[in-house]
Amino acid sequence: MFLNLIKDVIKTLGEHGDEKYIKESEHADLTTTIAFKIAKERKVSPQEVADEIVAKITPRGYIGGAESVNGYINFFANYEFLEDTIEVILKDENYGSIGASGKVLIEHTSANPDGPLHIGHIRNSVIGDTLARIFRKAGFDVTTHYYINDMGRQMAITVLGVERFGLKDKKPDHAIAEAYISANRLLESNPELEKEVEELMLKYENFDRETERKFKEAIEKAMAGIKATMERINVNHDEFVWESDFIKNGYVDKILGFLESKGLIKKERAWIIELEGFDKEVVIKRENGTSLYVTRDLAYHLWKSEKFERIINVWGADHKLYGAQLLKLLDILGIKKPEIVFFEFVSLPEGRMSTRRGKFISADELIEKVKEEAKKIIVNRGFSEEEIDKISEAVAIGAIRFDFLKVAPEKPMVFDMNKALDFERQTASYIQYTYSRACSIMRKCDEEVEFSPELCEKTERDLVIILAKMPYYIYKVVNEARPNIFAEYMLHLASKFNEFYRDYPVLKAEGEIKKNRIAIVAAVSKVLRIGLELMGIQAIERM
RNA sequence: GGGCCCGUGGCUCAGCCAGGACAGAGCGACGGCCUUCUAAGCCGUAGAUCCCGGGUUCAAAUCCCGGCGGGUCCGCCA
């Protein structure tokens, strides 16, 4: 809805209607700073220009009025806009869609199957999964991928570890991690075992059946655990793609042929490509004839480009240089390039995490701890055991997801367990609580719903405007791939509703006023529910 | 050493791309609000050299240059 308001402002402004200079404002529903730009060119005061523009324009569509203040041109929505907003929200189950279309691939998480997901992976999952949810809502046909790096050195070491130390009887991904960590220790004190690792890798790439069986078994164990964790935090993948598939299906050969035909490959002993603008050359085939990660990844991207219109990868910032090289190579080959969403590392107060060294906080551990803390809060509220478990699980998962989601991807994070467990600062439960407050009102009334914009007080009007903005934020996330701004939006909405809740009684109101407020509460609860769902956070009706 | 990212009240963050209306939230501190729709809520007070120094501009947290601090990358690893 808000997007329509922006369109109407652009129409109203005519030749001065540039989206870049149209902004949200605390002084108006929308404002433009275009007069400042024009004033600069003409060397006159912005106020003059703004006055001049306002005098000329005729408000169109949803624009109820325009004013010139200090060089800003402010726009206000009319009653019709408010009315249509509530109507659309109450009627449209798919509120938030912006009518986008096309096939989009989002690859995220893709953690090596050598242990459980840790809190760094969670950041990737949460960003990726939330983007997927929001893109879907926008209207895109989204497919999500988890790319399983089954061909790496770390997998060979894992297999070695499983062979030497076996697997303990615990959650399979944790058991795998233990074997992997032990194998790394063993390797450190016995460097001669390197040969064994190399041999495993070589055999795997050459499809030695027995080796394949061992790898597959270890990987599937790890993935079973990883999948269980992801399911718990509401992270879904449509497909799990194995790196080795791209050797088997011929795409690696295809990409090598492509590169060769472009005359890019320098065949020394290994196959090397020199890339303009990069210090180091890229090796795409080892001396022993095997492929490298980048080779298979190029093949994967060729495959992606054939099937999808838009490709998004969610990667850790440590892959930035690699990503730039990949994009450059794809560019040279004329293959559709992915958009890469980089996120900075999550570290612990004592330093960076490492699965190999066993220095990490697993997602499972975090979930359990946060859940215990959440339970403490509701244990004396008269809920049944079952309800307590359900609510604390929903609250814990919400808290974890929101904690990662609300921080801009480019910000490095230092994870603090005490803060993760502090429910005073948990903003997800604030939104969930706000939703259950709205639900509580809805449960207690069965009156008619009838929205009357002219009856709205300031807070109520503000609230409706915020409701109207949800599709606009979806539009922004889809364009900027920054899901944190959606989290911000949801907080803003919840906060405004709580203000309304305090000042405007619903059940005690009468007549038209009551019907009007019920309409507002109904719309708010719906938008909160949809918004929470988009963040992968459960909307709970009682807490 | 070079590339990239980050540096905003005591703490955690938003705002920076497309410069403009008093730099916004939350936590923490202090003070208030439950015979009234769930107080996991609300209101108020205190608290900011927007890392530092230059520059561009009528106007800089935002753009440019130079520093400082932290992170990260620079494998015939993935």
**Distance of A429 CA from B78 C1′ (whole Å):** 38
Tokens 């509530």 -> residue: A86
Q: Which nucleotide is nearest to A429 (CA to C1')?
A: B40
- What is the pLDDT, as a whole number, of residue A248? 94
Residues of chain A by 3-state class (helix, strand, coil), percent to 5: 60, 15, 30
With respect to residue A434, please indicate whether it lies within any of the assigned structural domains.
Answer: yes
- What is the pLDDT, as a whole number, of residue A360? 94
- What is the pLDDT, as a whole number, of residue A242? 97
Can you give the length of chain A in residues?
543
A366 CB and strand B closer than 7 A: no
Window 165-194 of chain A: CB closer than 7 A to strand B: none
Give residues with Cβ within 8 angstroms of A225, minimum separation 6: A116, A171, A172, A173, A174, A175, A176
Same structural domain, A343 and A481: no
Same structural domain, A65 and A128: no
Q: Which of left, alpha, beta for A96 (phi over 0: left; psi -120 to 50: alpha)?
A: left
A28 CB and strand B closer than 7 A: yes
Q: Which nucleotide is nearest to A324 (CA to C1')?
A: B4
Strand-pair category, A72-77 with A30-32: antiparallel
A297 CB and strand B closer than 7 A: no
Same structural domain, A116 and A37: no
Q: What pLDDT tens digit does each residue of chain A (543 aa) get? A: 899 999 999 999 998 999 999 999 989 999 999 999 999 888 888 999 999 999 999 999 999 999 999 999 999 999 999 999 999 999 998 999 999 999 999 999 999 999 999 999 999 999 999 999 999 999 999 999 999 999 989 999 999 999 999 999 999 999 999 999 999 999 999 999 999 999 999 999 999 999 999 999 999 999 999 999 999 999 999 999 999 999 999 999 999 999 999 999 999 889 999 998 898 999 999 998 899 999 999 999 999 999 999 999 999 999 999 999 999 999 999 999 999 999 999 999 888 999 999 999 999 999 999 999 999 888 888 899 999 999 999 999 999 999 999 999 999 999 989 889 888 877 899 999 999 999 999 999 888 899 999 999 999 999 999 999 999 999 999 999 999 999 999 999 999 999 999 999 999 999 999 999 999 999 999 999 999 999 999 999 998
Q: Which nucleotide is nearest to A70 (CA to C1')?
A: B21
Window 203-242 of chain A: CB closer than 7 A to strand B: none
**Distance of A418 CA from B44 C1′ (whole Å):** 29
- What is the pLDDT, as a whole number, of residue A40? 86
- What is the pLDDT, as a whole number, of residue A381? 85
Looking at the C1' of nucleotide B27, which residue has the nearest alpha carbon? Answer: A425
**Distance of A265 CA from B35 C1′ (whole Å):** 83
- What is the pLDDT, as a whole number, of residue A409? 96
Same structural domain, A411 and A524: yes
Burial class (CB within 10 angstroms; exposed 0-12, middle 13-18, buried 19+) of A306 = exposed
- What is the pLDDT, as a whole number, of residue A350? 87
Q: Which nucleotide is nearest to A517 (CA to C1')?
A: B37
Window 259-278 of chain A: CB closer than 7 A to strand B: 268-270
Determine the Cα–Cα distance for residues A328 and A284; give it in Å rounded to an integer: 14
Same structural domain, A432 and A508: yes
- What are the b/e assignments for A335-360, b being 16+ CB within 10 Å? bbbbebbbbbebebeeeebebbeeeb
Domain boundary residue among A290, A315, A347? A347
**Distance of A431 CA from B41 C1′ (whole Å):** 11
Same structural domain, A395 and A315: no
Same structural domain, A57 and A113: no
A243 CB and strand B closer than 7 A: yes
With respect to residue A386, please indicate whether it lies within any of the assigned structural domains.
Answer: yes
A45 CB and strand B closer than 7 A: no
| Nucleotides of strand B within 7 Å of the protein's CB atoms | 3-7, 12-15, 17-18, 20-22, 25-28, 36-43, 57-59, 70-78
With respect to residue A114, please indicate whether it lies within any of the assigned structural domains.
Answer: yes
What total number of domains does chain A contain?
3
Give the gyration radius of chain A's Cα atoms: 27
CATH number at residue A67: 3.30.1360.70
Which is it for the CA torsion A399, A405, A406, A411, positive or negative?
positive
A90 CB and strand B closer than 7 A: no
- What is the pLDDT, as a whole number, of residue A428? 92
Same structural domain, A51 and A132: no
Same structural domain, A150 and A293: yes
Range of the domain at A485: 371-534
Looking at the C1' of nucleotide B34, which residue has the nearest alpha carbon? Answer: A502
Same structural domain, A410 and A289: no
Domain boundary residue among A24, A58, A77? A77
Looking at the C1' of nucleotide B42, which residue has the nearest alpha carbon? Answer: A502
SS3 call for A313: strand
Determine the Cα–Cα distance for residues A345 and A339; give it in Å rounded to an integer: 19
CATH number at residue A468: 1.10.730.10
CATH number at residue A250: 3.40.50.620
A154 CB and strand B closer than 7 A: yes
With respect to residue A86, please indicate whether it lies within any of the assigned structural domains.
Answer: no
**Distance of A72 CA from B21 C1′ (whole Å):** 8
* ipTM reported for the complex, 2 dp: 0.95
**Distance of A89 CA from B46 C1′ (whole Å):** 42
Q: Quick one: three-class SS letters along A372-438?
A: HHHHHHHCCCCCCHHHHHHHHHHHHHHHHHHHHHCCCCCCCEECCHHHHCCHHHCHHHHHHHHHHHH
Strand-pair category, A239-242 with A346-347: unpaired
A426 CB and strand B closer than 7 A: yes
With respect to residue A359, please indicate whether it lies within any of the assigned structural domains.
Answer: no
- Alpha helix stretches (DSSP H) within A18-152: 34-42, 46-56, 79-91, 119-138
Cα–Cα separations (whole angstroms), residue A313 to A109, A285, A327, A334, A356 = 9, 24, 12, 18, 24
Q: At what angle do helices A484-503 and A511-534 cross, to 10 degrees?
A: 160
With respect to residue A84, please indicate whether it lies within any of the assigned structural domains.
Answer: no
Determine the Cα–Cα distance for residues A225 and A220; give it in Å rounded to an integer: 9
Domain boundary residue among A30, A56, A77? A77
Give residues with Cβ within 8 angstroms of A510, minimum separation 6: none
Determine the Cα–Cα distance for residues A472 and A526; give it in Å rounded to an integer: 16
With respect to residue A357, please indicate whether it lies within any of the assigned structural domains.
Answer: no
Window 93-152 of chain A: CB closer than 7 A to strand B: 112, 149, 151-152
SS3 call for A497: helix
Same structural domain, A304 and A392: no
With respect to residue A194, please indicate whether it lies within any of the assigned structural domains.
Answer: yes
Same structural domain, A163 and A73: no
A383 CB and strand B closer than 7 A: no
